[in-house]
Structure 1
Amino acid sequence: MSQTPDGAPEMVDWDLAVRVASRLAGQGPVVSPTEAADAVAELRAGADRSTALVRDFTGLVAAEHTAPVLVVDRAGWVQANADAFRHLVSPLVDQISAKNKKPPSGVSLAVGSRVTGLEVGGLLGFLAGKVLGQFDPFHAPDGRLLLVAPNIVHVERELDADPTDFRLWVCLHEETHRVQFTAVPWMRDHLFSEVQALSATVSPSGVDEVVRRLTEGLKGGIGQGGIVELLSTPEQREILDRVTGMMSLLEGHADVVMDGVGPSVIPTVDDIRTSFTRRRKGVGTLDRMLRRLLGLDAKMAQYRDGAQFVRSVVDKVGMAEFNTVWERAEHLPSKAELSDPDAWVSRVLG
């Protein structure tokens, strides 16, 4: 069982979460040792090659090799994200402990941590089979880039895509995230401060209200934002709207880069984009239901809305002026400005 430095059980049994998620995720597609080695080598090379391509297209300059590139299997992705979640929720745990005069302990805490461990494990297990790559900005000191090899191989086979083209296409998207966070040094602290702000709104006495909203939401249907939005108070939704604006910018910008650079270095990029966009809608009834429940439909909207915002602003003022968005947190688009790029141009560029 996961324990705090003083030996007490944690509020989430992270060890259990990792075991459950790894078991649920499975191994992925069957590949020979040679195929596996080739995929790893090609992904590493693709990430390295992408640095200059992203820099030349965006004008963002990030020092090379400031964040390591890790080509991982599903279990490796699970462990990395459990570590990241553990770091992210620490302010929330501290906040609850500070507000609650009688924090749970002993048997009740141990049981509760196992329940939450199972829940987190289930979520990570589902996502571990979906994620192709991810930049973890909170890994000290400068973050790290994760490329999930079995998932990339699975999708390229499913789409019947050229493996070399598809792997570079994925690397372009994920390397853009690495550049965003390493070329824009305030981004990491800003995102973490939003998590802290969200933690400050949590009240341990609000459990009954959470249960009520969840029950009503399940009866009336889960909205686009999934359970996260359903359980949010107005104050929390205000913070989540700011985070949505930020994450939509990051995801949309990466999509614009991968499609903008793609035609010059990836011969089959148009076929890949068409097939991949169709796949993002979910491949089966259960998959679509889980995506909606977890708010992954909203995640897909982030790619679409963010990309439309970036393209609109760049078409209007050019990439150099668009890059004003990276100068300070106040220049990030709001959720409303994502669908009204002219409002952002007026507010930020004058």
Structure 2
Amino acid sequence: MQVIDWDLAVATGTRLVRPGPQVSREEARQAVADLRRLSREAEGHVREFTRIDTETAPQTATIVDRPGWIRANLDGFRVVLEPLIERMSARGSQAPAIVSAVGSRVTGVEVGAVLAFLASRVLGQYELFLPPDPTGQAPTGRLTLVAPNIVHAEQELNVNPRDFRLWVCLHEETHRVQFTGVPWLREYVRTQTTDFLLASDIDLPALLERLRSAAGTFTDVVRGGEGNLIDAIQTPEQKVILDRLTAVMTLVEGHGDHVMDAVGPSVVPSVADIRAKFHHRREGGSRVDRTIRRLLGLDLKMKQYAEGSAFVRTVVGQVGVDGFNKVWTSPETLPTQVEIAKPERWIARVIDTPAIPEANGTIG
């Protein structure tokens, strides 16, 4: 049973995505060359500041346009959703073939539309979930930078292009260092994500009930409420898993923001101007744009940056970088959501208690 028509999702996303900013061929070529060079430069700064060692050889960032980002993320979606699709396929006899076919096309259109919206806003990301490499030689993750979006943002903000590009690279390279320097972290996130998907109750009555709830959430958000579709359709068991996922992603996003701002003043002369303008941009947008962001849970991601950065800043301020790096020792030393809001609780549990054995970590 095909749950999502992937080809239709790609076609829909690439058809709906907005074109990038108008630049000359030479400007586009220069932007790509700058981002490749600056990503390598940023990695050196990040490794030195974070003191996270990684045996993975430095890799040049992959530079994509908006349709390229859509294709890359659909590849990642297929990897993440494979366990759930296998389970649903095993139950395929429960649904008539025509229902499955129509459902997969509808879902394909929906996925494509969401990715089209995101593809014009994402500056970069570290792709954790890639299709397996038959040769076994490709890296397990990939740093991707979306050149048109970075150029559009620097033009819109009227900031120094070189400084802005390096500033973005510092954040995204921090994620690459996190997931290559802490070997267990990628598998932990993958496992939690798989468990979250498999905890869904996919019988029809429960699905219809949650969709009715989602419809109510949509109405509430349009009226200015605070709900989102992710909260509306998840099961109680998924809520517990999502709390763990939210905590770890808040940590890695906040750590990226902290490194970006801490390293910034020494290598990005206009970092204060960039940060102020970018923060204002994050909170802006039209009413429609803000509504879609809230529905998709993107406002929660923005909140993660602030909460995670505050946690890292507080812990580093009290126990130093080496003390903070104990967070990467094992899954047991990750902060909970409560501890992210109250860093002193994490310090008391992890720093002020006997050491917890490392889970194949490589923290220097």
What is residue 189 of structure 1 aligned with on the other side?
187
User: Which amino acid letter does the alignment assign opposite residue 324 of structure 1?
Assistant: K
Rate the CA distance shift 1:80–1:16 in 2: closer, same or farther, 3 A. same
Rate the CA distance shift 1:288–1:30 in 2: closer, same or farther, 3 A. same
Identity %: 48
Question: In 2, distance between residues paired with 1:234 and 1:188?
Answer: 25
Equivalence map 1:207-226=2 (5 Å): 207-221=207-221, 224=226, 226=228
CA deviation vs aligned residue, 1:205-240 (integer Å, no higher than 9, x gap)? 121221232234345448646110121222111111
Displacement of 1:27 after TM fit? 2.4
Correspondence for 1:13 among 5, 11, 24: 5
What is residue 166 of structure 1 aligned with on the other side?
164
Q: Is the 8 A contact 2:218 2:229 kept in 1?
A: no
Q: Is the 8 A contact 1:72 1:146 kept in 2?
A: yes
Rate the CA distance shift 1:220–1:35 in 2: closer, same or farther, 3 A. closer
Rate the CA distance shift 1:189–1:103 in 2: closer, same or farther, 3 A. farther
What is residue 150 of structure 2 aligned with on the other side?
152
Equivalence map 1:93-132=2 (5 Å): 93-98=85-90, 100=91, 102-104=93-95, 106-132=97-123
Q: Is the 8 A contact 1:177 1:254 kept in 2?
A: yes
Question: In 2, distance between residues paired with 1:24 and 1:138?
Answer: 24
User: Which amino acid letter does the alignment assign opposite residue 126 of structure 2?
Assistant: F
- Structure 1 residues without counterparts, runs of 5 or longer: 1-8
Question: In 2, distance between residues paired with 1:233 and 1:242?
Answer: 15
Correspondence for 1:331 among 333, 337, 340: 333
Question: In 2, distance between residues paired with 1:66 and 1:107?
Answer: 48
What is residue 198 of structure 2 aligned with on the other side?
200
Q: Is the 8 A contact 2:40 2:59 kept in 1?
A: no
Question: In 2, distance between residues paired with 1:102 and 1:132?
Answer: 42
Q: How many residues are aligned here? A: 341
What is residue 129 of structure 2 aligned with on the other side?
138
Q: Does 1:54 align with 2:46?
A: yes
Question: In 1, distance between residues paired with 2:166 and 2:219?
Answer: 44
CA deviation vs aligned residue, 1:83-140 (integer Å, no higher than 9, x gap)? 0011111112223334x37243532221111100000001000000000000001225
TM-score (norm 1): 0.93
Q: Secondary structure of the residue that 2:283 maps to in structure 1?
A: coil
User: Which amino acid letter does the alignment assign opposite residue 128 of structure 1?
Assistant: A
Question: In 2, distance between residues paired with 1:101 and 1:271?
Answer: 55
Displacement of 1:64 after TM fit? 5.3
Question: In 2, distance between residues paired with 1:252 and 1:109?
Answer: 41
Correspondence for 1:78 among 49, 56, 70: 70
Q: Secondary structure of the residue that 2:93 maps to in structure 1?
A: coil
What is residue 6 of structure 1 aligned with on the other side?
none
Moved more, 278-287 or 38-47: 278-287
User: Which amino acid letter does the alignment assign opposite residue 320 of structure 2?
Assistant: G
Question: In 1, distance between residues paired with 2:5 and 2:96?
Answer: 14
Q: Is the 8 A contact 2:221 2:294 kept in 1?
A: no
Moved more, 205-214 or 265-274: 205-214
Moved more, 211-220 or 257-266: 211-220
Q: Secondary structure of the residue that 1:135 maps to in structure 2?
A: strand
CA deviation vs aligned residue, 1:172-223 (integer Å, no higher than 9, x gap)? 0100010010001111111110122112312221212212322343454486
Rate the CA distance shift 1:101–1:138 in 2: closer, same or farther, 3 A. closer
User: Which amino acid letter does the alignment assign opposite residue 123 of structure 1?
Assistant: V
TM-score (norm 2): 0.90
Displacement of 1:67 after TM fit? 4.8
Moved more, 340-349 or 212-221: 212-221
User: Which amino acid letter does the alignment assign opposite residue 127 of structure 1?
Assistant: L
Question: In 1, distance between residues paired with 2:221 and 2:157?
Answer: 32
What is residue 44 of structure 1 aligned with on the other side?
36
CA deviation vs aligned residue, 1:297-349 (integer Å, no higher than 9, x gap)? 10100100000000011111111010011111111111111101011111112
4+ aligned runs moved over 4 Å, structure 1 = 219-225
Q: CA RMSD in A?
A: 1.6
CA deviation vs aligned residue, 1:37-83 (integer Å, no higher than 9, x gap)? 10001000110001110011110122454555200000110000000
Correspondence for 1:291 among 272, 290, 293: 293
